[in-house]
Structure 1
Amino acid sequence: MVEETKTNQSYKSLKIIQTAPHSRVFNLCLNRPSRHNALSLDFFTEFPQALSSLDLNPDVSVIILSGAGRHFCSGIDLQVLNSSSAEFPSSDRGRVGEKLRRDIKFFQDAVTAIERCRKPVIAAVQGACVGGGIDIITACDIRYCSADALFSVKEVDLAITADLGTLQRLPGIVGFGKAMELALTGRRFSGLEAKEMGLISKVFESKEAMEEGVKAVAEGIAGKSPLAVTGTKAVLLRSRDMSVDQGLDYVATWNSGVLLSDDLKEAISAQTHKRKPLFAKL
C-alpha cells in the first residue's frame, strides 16, 4: 500500500491509502493503533464521510477496510460511553431518552454507511475484532482474517444490548441460533471458528498473507464491470429483506435500467476475442 491520499489530514481516526499506483482498489484504515482502533466520537462523523468520498470517486472500484497496528478494532471507546452517560443532567427522563435515541441512531448510521456505499467493502481483520468491530464487519460485503484474529460480541459484558447492527445482521450471516449464543455469552471465538460458521470467507496464515490475498481478490473485482458489481451488491442487500418474488421483480427493474450498457458490449467483445475487458469508470 503505497500512495496515501491528500485528504487524510482531515481525518483523526482514519486514513485512506491507494493500494498501488493506478489501482482502483483503496484501503480505508481505522487509524488509532495506540487504542487498538477503538471507535471514537470522531470515527462516527468521519467514517461515513470517508466512505461517501470513496463512493463518489470514479477512480475507486473496491474498498478494503482494515485496522492499523496489531488489532482490527477493540470496540467502541469507553470514553464515548462515559461521555454519553454524563451528558444528560436533566431529570426529564423523556427528553433524556429522546436525546439518547438520536445519539444511537447517529452511531448506527455511521455503520450502515458501509451498505449505502455502492462500491464493495471488504473487511481484512487481524487481532481483536470485538463489540463495535463486529458491528462493522457484519455490514461489510466480504470478510477475511488472519490466523491470529479473535472475535467477540462483547456488549453483553458491558451491560449493553448491542445496538449498531450486529443483532440485526449477524443472524443472516451465521444463523439465528449461533448468533443468539454468541451474543448472550460474549465469548471469544477464533478465525477458524468464524470461518466454519460463515462469518469469515478465508483465514490467512499471517497479516501479510492476508493483505496480499485480499488485495488480489479486490483487484479481481475491480477489473469487472462496475455496473454489474454495484448492481450485484445493491440487489443482494435489497433482496435480503424481500420474498423471492419481490427480489426477482426488483432485479428485473434494476436490469431494465442498466443491462443494455457499454459494459455489456465490452464484456461480449472481450469474450469473443479472448482478451481482458476494459470497462469505463463509474
Structure 2
Amino acid sequence: MGHSCFNLTIEDGIAHIRFSRPDKFNSFIPEFWRELPEAVNNVSDNAEARVIVLSAEGKHFTAGMDISVFMSGALDAPPANREVAAEAFRYNVKSLQDTFSALENARQPVLAAVQGGAVGAGVDLISACDCRYASKDAFFCVQETAIGMTADVGTFPRLTKIIPEGWARQMSYTAERLPATKAKEIGLVNEVYETPEELLENVMKIAKRIAGHAPLAIAGCKKLINYSRDHTTEDTLDYIALWNAAMFRTEDIKESYISKSENREPQYDDLAPVKKGI
C-alpha cells in the first residue's frame, strides 16, 4: 500500500516509517493524519514487526502541521451556531490526537530518529514515542504558541512526564528552539549523534537489539511502563503481578538460556495478530 507522506518498509523485525516529503520539510498534510495511524495500527494489530522506527528524509524531521490542514477546512465545523461548532471542532481535534496516540498504544516500542527540526506537531509526535534520539543539528520547538494557538494534539500531557515541568513550560511559553544538546541534558532525547547518518545507523542498531528479545516480554515492558506513568506505585505493582500471572512464559526463558549455551540467536514466537470486532 502506498502512502502520501512516508515510506514503510519491514525487515528483520523492524518496521521503518520514513517521512518522504523533504521539499516540504515533511509537514503533516491532511492525508498524514489518516495514513500514519492506519500504518502503525496495522503493524501493531497484525504483529508485522517487533519494533517501529520513525525517521525522515531531508534537512528536517518535520515542520509540523502543514498550512493546508488549516486552509482546506479540515478543522472547520459547518454549523454557524458557535457552541455547536465548538462541540464538533472538539471531535475533529480528538481525531488528530488519535494519530499520535496510535504510537503510544502500539504493542511494539516506537523509536524516533530526529534530524533538523521537530517543530510544532513534531513535538507532539515524538512525545508519543517510547525513545527519542537526535543528530547534533536537531532542535525542538513548541511552535504553536508563536502562531497564536495552544498546542492540542499531545504535547502537554506527555511532554511534562518526559522532561522537567519547568522546561516544558518554558518551551511552551516562549516557542524557543531547544537544541539537541540541551534536549539530551533534560532527558527529551536519549542520545545525540554527530550526523543524521550516524543517528539512523545507531537507532537501527538499538531497534535490532530490541527485535532480538522476546516480543511478549517487550510488549509487557511497554504496557507496564505506560501504566506506571499514569497510576500509583501500588496500583502498578498489582497490575504487574496480574500481568505476569497471565503471561509469564517459561518457554521464552528456557530459550534464552538454551540459545546462549548453544552460542546462537534465540528464537521467540511473535505476538499473535489482534482480531478486532466480530
TM bucket by the smaller chain? Answer: over 0.9
Q: Does 1:111 align with 2:105?
A: no
CA distance in 2, matches of 1:88, 1:257: 46
Residues 77 and 86, structure 2, Cα contact 8 Å, conserved in 1: no
Q: 1:226 to 1:88 in 2, by over 3 A?
A: closer
Q: Give 2:45's aligned residue.
A: 56
Alignment partner of 2:188: what SS?
coil
Specify the code of the residue in structure 1 equivalent to 2:9: I
Q: Give 2:275's aligned residue.
A: none
Alignment partner of 1:172: what SS?
coil
In structure 1, list runs of 5 or more residues that go unmatched: 1-6
Alignment partner of 1:106: what SS?
helix
Q: Give 1:236's aligned residue.
A: 225
- Superposed counterparts of 1:79-94, under 5 Å: 79-84=68-73, 87-88=76-77, 90-94=79-83
Q: Give 1:278's aligned residue.
A: 267
CA distance in 2, matches of 1:59, 1:106: 24
Q: Give 2:167's aligned residue.
A: 178
Report the CA distance between 1:56 and its aligned residue: 3.0
CA distance in 2, matches of 1:96, 1:58: 39
Q: 1:254 to 1:74 in 2, by over 3 A?
A: same
After superposition, give the CA deviation of every residue in 1:203-258 in whole Å (9 maximum; x if it has no partner): 01101111110111100010001011011001000111111000101111111111
After superposition, give the CA deviation of every residue in 1:28-69 in whole Å (9 maximum; x if it has no partner): 122222211111111111111000121134441111101122
Q: Give 1:218's aligned residue.
A: 207
- Superposed counterparts of 1:121-200, under 5 Å: 121-200=110-189
Alignment partner of 1:110: what SS?
helix
Specify the code of the residue in structure 1 equivalent to 2:160: P
Report the CA distance between 1:85 and its aligned residue: 8.1
CA distance in 2, matches of 1:103, 1:123: 26
Report the CA distance between 1:271 and its aligned residue: 4.5
Q: Give 2:8's aligned residue.
A: 16
Specify the code of the residue in structure 1 equivalent to 2:6: L
Report the CA distance between 1:158 and its aligned residue: 1.1
Structure 1 vs Structure 2: percent identity of aligned residues? 36
Alignment partner of 2:230: what SS?
coil
CA distance in 2, matches of 1:85, 1:259: 46
After superposition, give the CA deviation of every residue in 1:104-151 in whole Å (9 maximum; x if it has no partner): 000000110001110111000011101000000010001001111111
Residues 69 and 75, structure 2, Cα contact 8 Å, conserved in 1: no
Report the CA distance between 1:269 and its aligned residue: 2.5
TM-score normalized by the length of structure 1 = 0.91
Report the CA distance between 1:17 and its aligned residue: 1.8
- Superposed counterparts of 1:242-281, under 5 Å: 242-273=231-262, 275-281=264-270
CA distance in 2, matches of 1:112, 1:225: 24
Residues 75 and 93, structure 2, Cα contact 8 Å, conserved in 1: no
CA distance in 2, matches of 1:58, 1:76: 29
1:76 to 58, 61, 65: 65
Aligned length: 271
* Worse-superposed segment, 128-137 or 90-99: 90-99
Report the CA distance between 1:276 and its aligned residue: 3.2
CA distance in 1, matches of 2:88, 2:78: 12
Q: Give 1:206's aligned residue.
A: 195
CA distance in 1, matches of 2:257, 2:127: 35
Q: Does 1:100 align with 2:92?
A: no
Q: Give 1:4's aligned residue.
A: none
* Higher normalized contact order (CA 8 Å, seq sep 6+, divided by chain length): 2
CA distance in 1, matches of 2:80, 2:48: 51
CA distance in 1, matches of 2:70, 2:240: 41
After superposition, give the CA deviation of every residue in 1:183-217 in whole Å (9 maximum; x if it has no partner): 10000111111000100000011011111101111
> Once superposed, what is the RMSD of the aligned Cα atoms?
1.6
CA distance in 1, matches of 2:265, 2:125: 34
